[in-house]
A and B are shown apart, each in its own frame.
Chain A
Amino acid sequence: KAGVTQTPRYLIKTRGQQVTLSCSPISGHRSVSWYQQTPGQGLQFLFEYFSETQRNKGNFPGRFSGRQFSNSRSEMNVSTLELGDSALYLCASSLARDRISPLHFGNGTRLTVT
């Protein structure tokens, strides 16, 4: 069974640009969550989608948005990039939205903003 796939693995963008990251969850998983990982802030929750609906949202500005498609694939978009958006963005899928199903992570997209 294929794992969570994130594309691209690396991105270099300039301040003010926008970027779209993609995530394909494990087949059958309907919940997709996004996290930002930085050395200083650790893992910060961005948002979670289930059945194409955003179920939870972290404390990030409106420049960060996402969506989920009917096949459970998800994308996140960051507009008007800032230097501080440089981070590893991790996507995780889960079989169900319950308290016992673990998260399955992709290897992330490394975004560098110059």
Chain B
Amino acid sequence: GDSVTQMEGPVTLSEEAFLTINCTYTATGYPSLFWYVQYPGEGLQLLLKATKADDKGSNKGFEATYRKETTSFHLEKGSVQVSDSAVYFCALSPKTSYDKVIFGPGTSLSVIP
């Protein structure tokens, strides 16, 4: 079945460091891909998405490119801030509209001043 794999962390970075969180997926056809972020004490919120191969999603300085050839959707940010400390979830929405969204295990990020 469809699945999402991502580095689990925790990841600890200094402020202004470069961030990469790896995400790979297994799916039939062409799913849509998402990154969600969960801040402490809150639910998840959409960070960015890409719906077809080679699409680049971007938001708040974060970027991710849908790579069909490597089945990947790695999240990157050039300079992280303390306020980026959160848990990041990679997710896919399968090709049919009748299948549930599948989430990765989440990657905890701590940014220290």
Contacts and interface: CB of A to CB of B under 8 A. Distances in A.
Interface of A: 4, 6, 33, 35, 42-43, 45, 48, 55-56, 58, 90, 92, 96-100, 102-108
Contacts of B31: 99
Contacts of A48: 100
Contact of B96 (A4, A45, A99, A104): A99
A45 B100 contact: yes
Contacts of B36: 103, 105
Contacts of B25: none
> Which 9 A-B pairs give the minimum distances between C-beta atoms?
A105-B43, A102-B46, A99-B93, A43-B103, A105-B44, A42-B105, A99-B32, A98-B97, A107-B43
B103 A100 contact: no
Given A99-B95, A105-B44, A107-B43, A33 B32 contact: no
A97 B93 CA distance: 10
Nearest to A58: B100
Interface residues of B, number: 27
Contacts of B105: 42
Contacts of B101: 33, 45, 103
Given A56-B99, A96-B97, 4 more contacts: A33-B101, A43-B89, A99-B97, A100-B51
